[in-house]
Structure 1
Amino acid sequence: MATGSRLESNKQIVLDFYQAAFNDKDFDAALRLVGQSYRQHNPLIADGPGGLRVRLDHLKDAFPALKVQVRRLIAEDDHVVAHVHAVRVPGQRGTAIIDIFKLENGKLVEHWDVLQEIPEDALNQNGMF
């Protein structure tokens, strides 16, 4: 069982990764937070830091104004779950994302995600965040 300080540290590592990778587009800083054994469960991204770098490079080229906002983080044991609002093009509604990261020794070593575009019209007024 992870201690409270370990859980907070893991959450900060995930926050630092988002900031570096998506908002600052400082891929070298982002990849310093990724372990060499990085396993990817998104079928569009290859395993390892190299596969992640290819994906981040693609996002930077295709969506240079991409910004993400982490709305909440939940940590348990060696996993951190992030509820994220990503906007690829300013003015668009964006995408609601759930990312799950596994961490070992202060590094991201495994990743899962689920993405859902934010619709123009919703059948309720609850919002996605």
Structure 2
Amino acid sequence: METQLEKNKAVVKRFNLEVIEQGNLESFKELMNEQFINRTAPEGADNGPQGMIYTFNQVLRPAFPNLKVIIHQQIAEGDLVTTHKTITGTHYGLLMGIPATGKKVNIQVIDIVRVVNGKYIEHWGMNTLSAVLTQLSRT
């Protein structure tokens, strides 16, 4: 029998594959609580559900149309799931003002997601996007 911890990890895996990698809006609606808060959203950015999907579908996926998410490991405790992952892709589109370079990128990410009733309710994260932006702007 699948434990609640395993179910929560499966929710996060599904979000990474279907929402981040594939841009599936139906999956996003199924997996995102309306009260969701991104605790590490950039200052001035929308820290709710719309800010989260904007980041994936309007910023990352257009810049990296071949985007993939590789999950290295997940740890679950209580209603929290921590994921160490790499987002990879080739820079084929505009990314935060930086024109396409054709370079392959690897964005390292550590996320902590609170999952309640099978949905994302809170998120904290750290990533290396700023370092990737610096590398791409030096082209």
Q: Shared fold (TM-score greater than 0.5)?
A: yes
Identity %: 28
Contact 2:69-2:88 at 8 Å conserved across structures: yes
* Gapped regions of structure 2 (runs ≥ 5): 92-102, 133-139
Q: As a proportion of its length, which structure holds more helix?
A: 2
> 1:102, 1:8 → 2: CA distance?
13
Contact 1:16-1:30 at 8 Å conserved across structures: no
Counterpart of 2:128, as a letter, is Q
Aligned counterparts, 1:78-117, within 5 A:
78-89=79-90, 92-116=104-128
Match of 1:30 among 28, 31, 35: 28
> 1:43, 1:53 → 2: CA distance?
12
Contact 2:110-2:127 at 8 Å conserved across structures: yes
Question: TM-score, with normalisation over the residues of structure 1?
Answer: 0.79
> 1:63, 1:42 → 2: CA distance?
22
1:41-100: CA deviations, max 9, x gaps? 223352222221211222222221111111111000010000001113187250211010
Q: How many residues align?
A: 116
* Gapped regions of structure 1 (runs ≥ 5): 120-129
Q: Look up the match of 1:60.
A: 61
Structure 1 stretches of at least 4 aligned residues deviating more than 4 Å after TM superposition:
none
The question of 1:21 aligning with 2:33 is answered no
Question: TM-score, with normalisation over the residues of structure 2?
Answer: 0.74
